[in-house]
Amino acid sequence: MQKHLSARSAILALVLVMAIIGAREFYLRSKGYTPDFDDSAELWADKRAMVYEPANKATVFIGSSRIKYDMDIPTWESITGNHAIQLAMVGSNPMPFLDDLANDPKFKGKLIVDVTEVLFFNPAPDVIIHPKAGIDHYRTRTPAQQVSFKFSYPLEHHLVFLNESQFSIKGMLNHLYIPDRPGVYPALVFPEGFEHNKFDRQNRMTDQFVADTNLQNQVKAVWGRLMKEGAKHPPVSGKALDGIIANVKADIDKIKARGGQVIFTRTPSSGPFFMGESMGYPRKLYWDKLLAVTGCQGIYFKDYPAIANMQCPEFSHLKPTDAVIYTKNIINILQTEKGWKL
């Protein structure tokens, strides 16, 4: 009798849990939400393990958020037949990624390094926290953790409520409007639809975000707060800048010495954001110097009429349809002007 009651209780508990999950999932989908993936250290490490594919079969991308939005992976792979391995990370300095690949003797492939000046030339420790976390996880992950990741993928692929950044308790608290305390670095809280992350680690704006200027203005407000905060700290220059570029050159020389290829890109920004970047980081003193010292080729979007005047909905990232156009042009430039075989 006791066993019978225990079984009934267990079944009832399971039914209640499934009903709650189902109701939560139905509610979120009724609001227009769709499944996406948390851009976690585990997901990054899964892609990092792919960099050993033959150089004629894959290209690795590092940088910050712009290359994650602007390089359309399906377009890249359908035209080139070349696997795009996306290792860029939002809001981060890509230097740890470059250093990681440079000091990995097994990496001998093609590498595209995207430059967002305010992050690329930024020595602050807070912009390398997440890259280091991804690298550390890749180096220390256990077989059990890898298996757990493989099992969690199908669930995350089909269930909206598993989006930790949006629908966990912490995620929902982050989306409450709470004014920042004086002296506290502003929290980067973006509206739903801006940071839709795919399993291949490409970010895409949703159609709703592209159509909604109110949502776009919310992101512009975040950029405004960041620019205001950044104005308190002048861009790196002088010997500090020379040191950063010297470190980049040392890493790139290691990759080239093993037969690897490296090229820099500067993806589009527009409006006040591009104006502010151009004033704070004059091209001659930063981009041109980076190419001259490292001896690398570069693709600066303003040099090419087809992509020179692309407009970003929130000033900093391309909408999906423009990402396709941008990607097609980058492929053409790499193949016809830069001598890359893709």
Task: Tell me the three state secondary structure of residue 95.
Answer: helix
pLDDT band at 185, cuts 50/70/90? very low
Give the chain's end-to-end CA distance (angstroms, integer).
69
Q: How do residues 143-177 score in pLDDT, each as one tens digit? A: 988 888 787 766 555 555 456 556 555 555 555 55
Mean pLDDT, the chain, rounded, equals 87
Q: How do residues 235-249 score in pLDDT, each as one tens digit? A: 999 999 999 999 999
Integer-rounded Cα Rg, in Å, for the chain is 22
Q: Helices (H) and strands (E) in the chain — how many of each?
A: 17, 7
Q: How do residues 201-215 score in pLDDT, each as one tens digit? A: 999 999 999 999 999
CB 318 within 8 A of CB 326: yes
Kindly report the number of other CB atoms within 10 A of residue 306's CB atom: 13
At how many degrees (to 10) do helices 213-230 and 271-280 cross? Answer: 20
- Residue 236's pLDDT is 95
CATH 3.30.1490 is right for the domain spanning 41-336: no
- Residue 63's pLDDT is 98
Among the ranges given (37-46, 80-89, 122-131), the one the predictor scored with the smallest mean pLDDT: 37-46
Q: Which residue has the higher pLDDT, 306 or 173?
A: 306
- Residue 195's pLDDT is 86
Q: Which residue has the higher pLDDT, 150 or 287?
A: 287
Task: Tell me the three state secondary structure of residue 115.
Answer: coil
Q: How do residues 14-73 score in pLDDT, each as one tens digit? A: 666 566 656 655 555 555 566 567 788 999 999 999 999 998 999 999 999 999 999 999
Average pLDDT over residues 124-138: 95
Geometric angle at alpha carbon 208, from 205 and 209, rounded to 5°: 45
Task: Tell me the three state secondary structure of residue 201.
Answer: coil
36: left (phi over 0), alpha (psi -120 to 50) or beta: beta
The domain ranges of the chain are 1-31, 41-336
Percent share of the chain, pLDDT over 70: 79
CB 313 within 8 A of CB 209: yes
Q: What is the pTM for the complete model shown?
A: 0.85
Supply 171's token pair: 């995620």
